[in-house]
Structure 1
Amino acid sequence: MSTVWQTRVRRLVAALGLGVVVGGAQAQSTDPLVVGEVIARDRCAVCHGPCGQGVAANFPRLAGQNPQYLANQLKAFARGERKDTAMTEKVKGLSDSDIEAVAEYYARQKPGHTPSGDELLLAVGRFVYERGNRHSGLPPCATCHGPGAAGTTELPRLAGQHPQYIVRQVQAFKERGGSRDNAIMRVMSHRLSELELEAVAAYLGNLK
């Protein structure tokens, strides 16, 4: 961990009147939620926001995300298994306990959502998500992601996620871009029409 980052952490800790241990920057307290908040505000907030809502639609909402799923993804970035230059730099120097702390912090934040007034589009999205499309051989998204898209330790929370981010990730599976390669999602991405993808993304983004 860089000396500059340790100094910034200590200054933030002092300003908050707290004590934490983060990646070797030692003070009085080891409360994981305090550690997680310090890391989130220092490293993550510029893109994901201090409360995990994402500062723009191309950055995923982390608030309410399953903590183990989020921790696993951050560790995958740290190991180079999931590739993104910015994320690899952000997790550099974080211990597993640091990663788990920031994941737990974001998991406890209130989830957001993206309201949509297009009732017809939402209806199409709900139908495809819950029932799929037998004509194209598209299985229901809910088969894996569940009826409320709340997420699991292995699958992300999709409820309330930015629709644009969902679309971009599905397209990445289709193009097998970077480390986004999963056999099931690759098949799903090819069988989803553009309208179906837009509708499902809108439906998921609208969920609370």
Structure 2
Amino acid sequence: MPEVVAHGRRPDLFGCGYCHLPNGFGRPENSSVVGLSVAYIVQQMADFKNGTRRSAEPDMGPPAAMIRVAQAATDEEVRVAAEYFASIPTAPWIRVVETETVPEIVVSRGMLVPVEGGETEPIGRRIIELPEDLARTELRDAASGFVAYVPRGSTARGEAIVEGETGAVACGVCHGSGLAGVGPVPALAGRSPSYTVRQLYDLQSGVRDGLWADLMKDVVATLSLDDMIAIAAYTASLDP
């Protein structure tokens, strides 16, 4: 594992593996970087650095941290980390469950966790992404994944949108067969649905405006929140 991934370069640069995990599978508050192309990772770091990739929620910690990391990292450090994460095979990491009720939740250490006592609440118009094993996740166990609770019917609705059955351009035209990504266009299959919704919203609101963002502007322009949830639920349910 490269030094920049394992430990970073103190005091300016945290190790990539702390947030994204050593295998790059990531957590709901950040993103999965495993199996993305070198070109895509390098471009996203450049976008963070030059201010064209931001978050629609300015107070959200992980995007702000990525901007600081991108500004501190050298081109060589970015390349080494990108080549490392691009070389790791993807694997299932998120289990998608359609439901009407979910565990009652609180925010802890940047992610959603169930409250003690086992209470439940309606899912409403939300994606609730929780650790499969909270204790292991809090220890940054890179072998312990997540479960994503999504509204009933959302995966089928998402499939229709993704496949172009609702009038939109089919996502696979750019994102490839099985949404596994093509060159600088990222994979969508099996990725965090929380992250996917954030990116669709950021693209729609214009705060994510990097090199490839123009290709997405017409696609996201008319998406509703329910559309975004459905798309994310479906793409997360696919084998990565």
TM-score, normalised relative to structure 2: 0.62
What amino acid maps onto 1:159 in structure 2? A
Equivalences for residues 23-34 of structure 1 within 5 A: 34=2
Check whether the contact 2:193–2:235 (CA below 8 A) recurs between aligned residues: yes
Matches within 5 A, 1:32-111: 34-35=2-3, 37-38=5-6, 42-55=14-27, 57-83=28-54, 84-111=63-90
Structure 2 vs 1, CA of residues 129 and 91 (structure 1 numbering), >3 Å: closer, same or farther?
Answer: same
| Counterpart contact for 2:42–2:82, Cα < 8 Å | yes
Larger Rg: 1
Q: Residue 204 of structure 2 is aligned with which of 174, 185, 191?
A: 174
Give 2:177's match in structure 1, choosing from 137, 147, 152. 147
Deviations 1:123-181 (A, max 9, x none): 222222112412xxx22122221231112332111111110111111111111125468
1:62–1:106 Cα contact (<8 Å) kept: yes
Unpaired runs of 5+ residues, structure 2, are: 55-62, 99-151
Tell me the distance in 2 between the aligned counterparts of 1:63 and 1:39: 18
Residue 117 to residue 199, structure 1, CA distance change in 2 (3 Å): same
The verdict on how the C-alpha distance between 1:97 and 1:177 changes in structure 2, with shifts beyond 3 A counting, is: same
Tell me what 2:95 maps to. Answer: 115
Alpha-carbon distance, 1:43 to partner:
2.2
4+ long deviations beyond 6 Å: none
Q: Compute the TM-score of the two structures, normalised by the length of structure 1.
A: 0.70
Partner Cα distance (2:156, 2:208) in 1: 32
8 Å contact kept, 1:35–1:98: no
Which has the larger helix fraction? Answer: 1
Distance in 1 (CA, whole Å) between partners of 2:154 and 2:52 is 36
Question: 2:64 is matched by which residue type in structure 1?
Answer: T
Q: Which is richer in strand? A: 2
Aligned CA RMSD, in angstroms, stands at 2.6
Q: Which runs of 5+ in 1 are unaligned?
A: 1-32
